[in-house]
Each structure stands twice: as C-alpha cells, then as structure tokens.
Structure 1
Amino acid sequence: MNNFTYVRAASVKDAVKRAVADHHAMFIGGGTNLVDRLKVFLDQPSQLIDISRLQMQSIEKMTDGSLRVGALVTNTALADHAEIRRNYPILTRAILSGASQQIRNVATVGGNLLQRTRCPYYYDTAFPCNKREPGSGCPAATGINRMHAILGASDQCVAVHPSDMCVALAALDAVVEVTGPKGIRQIPFINFHRLPENTPQRDSNLEPGELITSIILPPVSFAKSGVYLKLRDRSSYSFALISVAAAVEVAGDKIKNVRLAMGGVAHKPWRATEAEKFLIGKPADIATFTQAANIALQGAKPLAHNGYKVELTKRAIRRALTVSAQGGGIA
C-alpha cells in the first residue's frame, strides 16, 4: 500500500472541493472493495477523503412516491428496510444473495455501485490489463475466461461487473443522484455504468470530483412480483456466473408490463430492453418467455471457456419470468 494522506470531509460540498483540488484523491465510505484494491496496489491515491460520517444515511419517501436512499445506507439496512421488503423485494433478494453478512453490514449503497470487476487478470499485477494500464492488453480475452462477458465486450476488455444489487437497480429504473463541481445532477441507472469499448479503465460516467449522494427508486407497482435468480459455483459468498432480475405484470393472460436485467454477462448490469418490448401484450407462457430469452441473448459473443453462459442465461430468464408472472417469490 502506498503512502497517502487522510482527511475527514465536513460536508458533501467539502468532499467535492477536496476531490476537485486533488485528482488523485479517492472517496472512502465502507471501503469493503477499495481497501482490498489498496492492499494489492491496484489503486494508489494521494489522499483518502472519508465521507462515512456525512448525512447520507437515510431512506426517505418523496412526494411522488419514490424512495430516496442515501449513498451511505448500508446494504444490510437497505435490504431490511420495511418499504424495500414490501414494495421492492427484488432488491432485498439481490442484496442478500451477495457477499457475507459482515460485509453487508459495512458496505454502502454508493460503494456498491463503484465496486470494480473481480477479473483475476485485473487483480494479478503480474499480468497486463487494459483496465489497470490502458493499451497493455487483455489476457482474459485469450486466457481463462469462464467467468467473463458474453455481451457488450470489446477487444480491450471482457470483464464483468460483479454487483448483485446493481442488477436489481437496473431493472427498477433507479436514478443515481450525484453532486460535483457543477452542482447536482441525476443519471438514469442504465446510463451510469459504461461498456468497455476503447476506455475499459472507466467503469462509470461519473465526472472528476463527483460524489454519489443518493439512489432514487421510482414507484413500480408490479415490482412486488420481482424475482432475483443468481447462479454461482457455490451457494455462499460467491459472485454470479449469471444472474437475472425480473418483474412481470400480467393482466388477464397477457403481459402488461415487464422489467428484465442480467448480471455476470457484461461490463455493466445488462438491461434487456428489446426482450421487454417483445414481451408486452404477449401471453405469459413458456413459449413467450423462451422467445424473449432468445432475443435477450441474440447479440451474445461467447469466449473460449464461457459458451455455457448463453444457454444458462436463457434458462435463467425463462425461470425468472415464469416465477414472477406467477406472483414472484424466491426463484
């Protein structure tokens, strides 16, 4: 770990001001992923700006029925919140499927959005990595890539985003509220994270100095039917091979509304918008869900060792949509 200075921010404005003054500074809240990266020299900040005591730890109902979740709300607090469990159970299920209880007790909502890939080539500095050092190469593309992307990858990077929470937030049309040197702005969740393209070192569309202050969850009446299905090598404390967040609203025997997002398949949580469009007005049956799954994976480009993900994801989509259409619950 390199030498750095430490300062405790007095306010959001103070934190932003300090980050703007030192472009090599980093914010730290729970630190559950950042500290790991510091230990292996993946990040070498000149300064850590501690934001953990700022007033961003509440969950508040807004006048339009949305919920504003402070960026420093812990994963445990969010998953256990009565309003979340009642109206956004898909989010509770996603959170509880990730990490360990001890980590969830410390990890923050804002930090969850900014956690970085667990690609072993990224973490092992003996290998080149375009995410660590742009232009150095992507050994995962031709190496052991069983866990890597099948959608949205580029020649520069085939890593996947590791978050479970973020897959549910993508399905829920969440909005990320940030404060920066130019003031407050809101970023639709599907636009917050980036695909690698030619800039794999950038995971998000945050601008320099910007700090996540809250996540806004819009009211989604049919989110109560939400399902989060996570497939992994072991049932405890393991990142997803693939995951699916689905919520289906059925009127009569036809699909009235639907949300569908996937994890473990791309550099960002992957919203299956074309499959959603196809599903509207169709019968809520296995034939329809099979077609939707095929549409969701039609652009898949598997690598040497992860071709299994294509069929596995299709089956998971069919399962999640079916369970949600039947009223939801644990998939």
Structure 2
Amino acid sequence: MSAGSTDRRIDKLIHVLAKNAMVVVPGTKIASEIGVTRQKVWEWIEKLRSLDVEIKGHPSSGYQLVKVPDILVPSLVHAELGDGAIGHEIVHYFRTASTNSAALALAARGAAHGTVVVAEEQTAGRGRLGRVWYSEKSSGIYASVILRPDLSPNAAPIITLMAGVAAQRAIAGATGLNADIRWPNDILVKGKKVCGILTEMSAELDRLHTVVLGIGINVNHREMPAELKEIATSLRIETRRTCSRVHLLAALLKELDKLYRVLLKGGGAAIAERWAAASTYAQGKRVRVVAHDGDFFATTAGLEPTGALRIRHDDGREECLVSGEIIEVK
C-alpha cells in the first residue's frame, strides 16, 4: 500500500456492505471479515458518511448500505473493468495533493505497467502549462495511469492524443454527449472543457522508461467556479443528471487498454487516424495559435502520425505544431 493511500480494509468494508446491501450487517461480523476492531469499523463508517455514502445504523444495531456508493475504490471499479492490463492495480486516495505526483513516486519505486492512482479529492491538482486543475471533492475523476511503453521519446505526444481519444469515447459512451477533442489534450462539450490530460515522463535517450497520464474529468460538479464558468463545464451540468464515476472510470480504462494495444501494433498513424475522426479540430478549423513566441491565426490542416498538428498560415505556408495551444475563432 502506498503511503497515505486508502487502507485496503476500507475497500473490504465497502465490499462487505455491498454484497449484503439488503440486510443489516452486525459490526462484529464486519470487524471479523475485514480484520479490525468494531471501533475501527465505526470510524470508517463515519469516514464514508462524510463522503455522502448512505449507510444506516450504528454500532449497537449494525449497518446497512442504502445504495452502492460512487467511490472509486478498487473493488467497485474492478467489478466493471474486466481483465485489461490497465487498471489491474488501483491505488486509491481519499485525499492527495496530486495523483500525478503520487503515480510518479510509485513508478520510481517500480510500480507495474497499468497501475492506476485515483483520488476523491486533490489539493494541488496539476494541469498543463503549470495550471491548477480544479478538483471538487467526490465530484470528478482524478486519475493517473502508469505506462511502461517500449517506445522512443518521440512517441510521447501521440500517447497524450491516445488518452484524449479514450476519454472522448468513454464520455460519449457513458453520457451520449457529443464530446469533441481540441488539440492537444482537451475534451470539450459545447465548446467548454470537461476533461484535460497531463502527460509526464522519464526517458533514456532512445527509450521511454515511464509515462504517467494524468486525466481529470469534471463529472458531477453542480456548478463551476465563477472564473471557470465561461470555459469549463461538467457532465452533470450538460446532461442534467448524475453520472456514475465508477462506470465512467472503468469505461475510460477499458478504452485506454484497447487503444494502447492499437498503438503498439499500428504505431502513431493508427492513433492519429482515430483522433482525426473524433475531432472537429483536425482539419479546416480556424484557430488562434497560442505559442511561446506570440499568438497568430491559422487554419488546421491535419494531424501527423507523431501527434503534431499541421496548420496552414494565411499566406499558404504550412507548419507542424508540436507544442502550444489552439483556440477556435468564432
């Protein structure tokens, strides 16, 4: 168990309550099954209640789970996940600074390919370009996936795009929303951001050693902070209903697993083809390019197998963007 991560016996507690959801389970039975004291069971029940998990009862009468909670603990996610390599090991935090930081630390200690770090809340969630990722408690998916790809460092951008396609597919499948992908790493609904991806890596000169894909999805946020309302939204705001985070995370990990296999078999071109098919930004979109040496206007003109975005300047010149951002010109 990673330092500070959720005690796996809490996961067992949820599992015991879930499998006996229609009956009251005595505290002594729970304590015996998960190997803790009745006092500890009570403390953990209170912890779960603080996360809006509906549990009836008290120590003298026993406990009953009113409904299966939407908490991203391993047992609940694995029940929907299947046998893919990505997600075989899930490390859960109720609260952590950053899932990417936790995943990088685990990777440095030898965590296996496909290990996933998830949190109910981040206190210092990181976005791309040093930005902060707004991480409302128990409302979003804050996850980081450790990959051990046998690929060159040049493949890092296409891995980010692969994650974007996986997130777009999972969101569309779970909600029916028409989700779009904006190069390089944003998932949009009606022009507002619902998902972002932060890729961090360690590499040798000719080989990637570790890639950590940080994926944040605004799921059940009732509203966004005032400073974000014009540029960000949530799945709940757009659908007007709650979305199962457990189901969505499982769907995301399944899509990642499938697309990672596509990448290893077909290379960057196979991922670029799928990204272009899923994004209105791939070709013919008038955009403002935000670059380190100044902004300019251009039209998108396709995606390279490397993940670079081809753009056409107003004078007809074409170039490939490997970094920066684009914003649609309306």
TM-score (norm 1): 0.30
Q: Which has the higher strand share?
A: 2
Answer 1 or 2: higher relative contact order, Cα 8 Å, separation at least 6.
Answer: 1
TM-score (norm 2): 0.30
